[in-house]
């Protein structure tokens, strides 16, 4: 059965992007995801192998289109939650679906596109909050980067329904980053 996983990097004070949606704090950190992968068994590559489909908001999507030369998720269906018309990336094996519907209306289709793999909630905090509001996030996996931003875009936009999450795993990396994996407890 597919799991729904919110996986991202976060500053030490709980932000996934700066107020202007930039990620320079993460991109310029001396440790990179490559260094995390070389650590003690965690990291992006291991996670990404388990992903069958992705979902993100329009701000995350537009950042990817503006900052990266090639579509970083070839071969994996990507859902973009937006009520606006947005350009589609070029390239082979790109499957991007821009949809303006609530999560409950799309959820079953998203799981079908993930197949026997997991659905990755890429971000941002509003999209993750929508999934949490409907009780369909199974895990929250955060790589905490030891940078303090002071303000920015939070991990979630609002308080999550239910109680505290259950810590499943923690990995310290040689770069100073810490990977945290929480199970969302449904009540």
28 CB-near residues (< 8 Å, 6+ apart): none
Please tell me which residue, 34 or 162, carries the higher pLDDT value: 162
Can you read off the two tokens belonging to residue 159?
């308080």
Q: Residue 32: which pLDDT band, with cuts at 50, 70 and 90?
A: low
Instruction: Band the pLDDT of 162: cuts 50, 70, 90.
Output: confident
As a whole number, mean pLDDT of residues 89-110 equals 94
The count of domains in the chain is 1
Q: How confident is the model at residue 18 (pLDDT cuts 50, 70, 90)?
A: very high
| Host domain of residue 158 | 4-183
Q: Flag whether pLDDT at 40 surpasses 70.
A: no
> What does the pLDDT read at residue 173?
86
CATH number at residue 142: 3.40.430.10
pTM of the model: 0.90
Average pLDDT of the chain to the nearest whole number: 91
**pLDDT, greater one: 161 or 111:** 111
pLDDT at position 180 over 90 = yes
pLDDT for residue 119 is more than 50? yes
């Amino acid at each position: 059965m597919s799991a729904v996983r919110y996986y991202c990097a976060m500053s030490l004070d709980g932000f996934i992007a700066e107020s202007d949606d930039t990620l320079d704090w993460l991109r310029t950190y001396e440790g990179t995801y490559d260094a995390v992968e070389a650590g003690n068994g965690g990291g992006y590559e291991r996670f990404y192998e388990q992903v069958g489909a992705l979902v993100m908001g329009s701000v995350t999507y537009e950042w990817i289109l503006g900052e990266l030369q090639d579509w970083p998720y070839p071969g994996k269906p990507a859902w973009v939650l937006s009520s606006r018309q947005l350009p589609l990336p070029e390239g082979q094996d790109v499957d991007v679906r821009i949809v303006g519907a609530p999560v409950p209306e799309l959820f079953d289709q998203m799981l079908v596109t993930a197949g026997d793999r997991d659905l990755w909630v890429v971000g941002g905090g509003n999209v993750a909050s929508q999934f949490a509001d409907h009780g369909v996030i199974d895990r929250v996996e955060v790589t905490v980067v030891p940078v303090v931003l002071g303000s920015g875009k939070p991990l979630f936009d609002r308080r999550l329904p239910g109680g505290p999450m259950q810590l499943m795993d923690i990995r310290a990396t040689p770069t100073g980053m810490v990977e945290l994996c929480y199970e969302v407890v449904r009540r």
